[in-house]
Chain A
Amino acid sequence: MTSENRNEGKSAVLVLGCPQVPVQTGIALYLISLLKKKGVKAVVAGNRAARLLVEVSDPERHYVGEVMDIDRYIGDIAEKNRHFDYHFVFIHNDAGVSYAATVQALTGTTVIAIIYGEHFQEMADMIEFPCEKIAAKAVHNPMPLKNKLDEVLPWVVSNL
Chain B
Amino acid sequence: MGCIESMKYEIILRDASFRECREYIRTNCREYIDVDPGFKIFEKHIIGVPPISIGFEGDVIIFPFTKPCYGTFLMKIEDRDEAERIRRFAVKNTK
A129–B49 touching, CB < 8 Å: yes
Contact partners of A96 in chain B: CB under 8 A: 68
B68–A46 touching, CB < 8 Å: yes
Which one, A16, A49, A75, A101, contacts B50 given CB within 8 A?
A: A101
A93–B71 touching, CB < 8 Å: yes
> Contacts A71-B2, A94-B18, A97-B49 given: A102-B37 contact, CB under 8 Å?
yes
Chain B 30-55 residues near chain A, CB threshold 8 A: 36-38, 44-50
Residue on B nearest A128 in the bound complex, by CB: B49
Residue on A nearest B69 in the bound complex, by CB: A18
Asked whether any CB of chain B lies closer than 8 Å to the CB of A143, the reply is no
Contact partners of A105 in chain B: CB under 8 A: 36-38, 50
Using a Cβ cutoff of 8 Å, how many contacts connect chains A and B?
A: 66
> Contacts A74-B38, A94-B72, A105-B38 given: A99-B50 contact, CB under 8 Å?
no
Q: How far is the CB of B57 from chain A (nearest CB, A)?
A: 24
A78–B69 touching, CB < 8 Å: no
Contact partners of B69 in chain A: CB under 8 A: 18, 20, 47, 49, 95
Taking each of A17, A47, A95, A96, which has the highest tally of chain B beta carbons within 10 Å of its own beta carbon? A95
Contact partners of B36 in chain A: CB under 8 A: 105
Asked whether any CB of chain A lies closer than 8 Å to the CB of B67, the reply is yes
Contact partners of B48 in chain A: CB under 8 A: 98, 101-102
Asked whether any CB of chain B lies closer than 8 Å to the CB of A70, the reply is yes
Contact partners of B37 in chain A: CB under 8 A: 98, 101-102, 105-106
A102–B18 touching, CB < 8 Å: no
- Measured CB to CB, the residues of B under 8 A from A are 2, 17-18, 36-38, 44-50, 66-72
Shortest Cβ-Cβ A-B pairs, 7 listed: A18-B69, A102-B37, A101-B49, A78-B38, A105-B37, A18-B68, A94-B17
Q: Could you name 18 residue pairs across A and B whose Cβ atoms are closer than 8 Å?
A: A16-B68, A70-B68, A71-B2, A74-B47, A78-B38, A94-B17, A94-B72, A95-B67, A95-B68, A95-B70, A95-B72, A97-B18, A98-B48, A99-B47, A101-B37, A102-B46, A106-B38, A128-B49
